[in-house]
Structure 1
Amino acid sequence: MDQFSAMHTFRRVVDLGSFSAAANQAGVSHTVLSRQVKHLERHLGTQLLTRTTRRLHLTEAGALFYRHCVQILEQMQAMTLELSEHQQQPAGTLRLGVATAFGELELGRWLPDFVERHPQLQIELHCSDRFVDLLEEEIDVCLRVTDHLPDSSLVARRLATSEVLLVAAPRYLQRHGTPASPDDLAGHPLLGYSQLLHPQRLQVANDAGEQREILMPRRLSANSPMALRAAAIGALGIASFDRFIVDDALRDGRLVQVLSHWRQPARSLFAVYPQSRYLAPKVRALLDYVQHYYATPRWQG
Structure 2
Amino acid sequence: MDQVKAMRAFQRIAQAKSLSSAAQSLGTTHSSLSRQLQALEASLGAQLVRRDTRGITLTEAGHRYLAACTDILSRLDAAHADAAADSKAPSGTLKVSMPLSIATLELPDWLPAFQARHAGIRLEVVCTDRFTKLVAEGIDVALRISAELEDASMMARTLAVSDMVLVAAPRYLAEHGLPRTPEDLSQHQCLQHNGPESPAHWTLHLRDGQQQTLKPDARFACDTITALYSAAKCGLGIAALTWHTVRADLQAGALVRVLPEVTLGQRTYAALYPRTRHVQPAVRAFIDFMATHYR
Which bin holds the TM-score, normalised by the shorter protein? 0.7 to 0.9
Q: Is the 8 A contact 1:99 1:128 kept in 2?
A: yes
Name the structure 2 match of 1:188.
Answer: 188
Name the structure 2 match of 1:103.
Answer: 103
Q: Is the 8 A contact 1:91 1:120 kept in 2?
A: yes
Name the structure 2 match of 1:169.
Answer: 169
Cα displacement (A) at 1:191? 0.6
Per-residue CA deviation, residues 181-226 of structure 1 (Å, 9 max, x unaligned), is: 3233233332111214555411122343212222222211012222
The code of the aligned residue for 2:203 comes to: Q
Give the TM-score of the pair, scaled to structure 2. Answer: 0.75
Q: Is the 8 A contact 1:157 1:270 kept in 2?
A: yes
Count of residue correspondences: 272
Cα displacement (A) at 1:113? 2.4
Name the structure 1 match of 2:91.
Answer: 91
Name the structure 2 match of 1:129.
Answer: 129
Distance in 2 (CA, whole Å) between partners of 1:121 and 1:191 is: 38
Q: Is the 8 A contact 2:192 2:216 kept in 1?
A: no
For structure 1, the residue ranges without an aligned partner over 5 or more in a row are 13-19, 42-46, 57-65, 297-301
- Identify if the C-alpha distance between structure 1 residues 209 and 30 changes in structure 2 by more than 3 Å, giving closer, same or farther: farther
Name the structure 2 match of 1:208.
Answer: 208
Q: Is the 8 A contact 1:222 1:228 kept in 2?
A: yes
Superposition CA RMSD, Å: 3.6
Per-residue CA deviation, residues 215-252 of structure 1 (Å, 9 max, x unaligned), is: 22221101222221222123322110011222222122
Name the structure 1 match of 2:40.
Answer: 36
Q: Which moved more, 1:260-269 or 1:166-175?
A: 166-175
1:252 pairs with 2:256: no
- Identify if the C-alpha distance between structure 1 residues 31 and 74 changes in structure 2 by more than 3 Å, giving closer, same or farther: same
Cα displacement (A) at 1:25? 9.8
Distance in 2 (CA, whole Å) between partners of 1:127 and 1:217 is: 29
Q: Any idea what SS the aligned residue of 1:212 has? A: strand
Give the TM-score of the pair, scaled to structure 1. Answer: 0.73
1:221 pairs with 2:225: no
Distance in 2 (CA, whole Å) between partners of 1:107 and 1:37 is: 62
Q: Is the 8 A contact 1:98 1:128 kept in 2?
A: yes
Q: Is the 8 A contact 2:41 2:47 kept in 1?
A: no
Q: Is the 8 A contact 2:188 2:217 kept in 1?
A: yes
Distance in 2 (CA, whole Å) between partners of 1:157 and 1:256 is: 31
- Identify if the C-alpha distance between structure 1 residues 55 and 79 changes in structure 2 by more than 3 Å, giving closer, same or farther: closer
- Identify if the C-alpha distance between structure 1 residues 89 and 207 changes in structure 2 by more than 3 Å, giving closer, same or farther: same
The code of the aligned residue for 1:36 comes to: L
Q: Any idea what SS the aligned residue of 1:231 has? A: helix
Name the structure 1 match of 2:52.
Answer: none
Cα displacement (A) at 1:50? 11
- Identify if the C-alpha distance between structure 1 residues 244 and 9 changes in structure 2 by more than 3 Å, giving closer, same or farther: same
Q: Is the 8 A contact 2:162 2:267 kept in 1?
A: yes
Distance in 2 (CA, whole Å) between partners of 1:207 and 1:9 is: 72
Q: In the TM superposition, what are the counterparts of 1:1-301 in structure 2 within 5 Å?
A: 1-4=1-4, 24=17, 27=22, 32-33=36-37, 35-36=39-40, 38-39=42-43, 55=60, 76-294=76-294, 296=295
For structure 2, the residue ranges without an aligned partner over 5 or more in a row are 24-32, 49-58, 62-67
The code of the aligned residue for 2:161 comes to: T
Per-residue CA deviation, residues 70-106 of structure 1 (Å, 9 max, x unaligned), is: 9987875553222111133333322222211211122
Q: Which moved more, 1:154-163 or 1:28-37?
A: 28-37
Per-residue CA deviation, residues 225-284 of structure 1 (Å, 9 max, x unaligned), is: 222122212332211001122222212223211221122221121122222222333223
The code of the aligned residue for 1:246 comes to: V
Distance in 2 (CA, whole Å) between partners of 1:77 and 1:211 is: 57
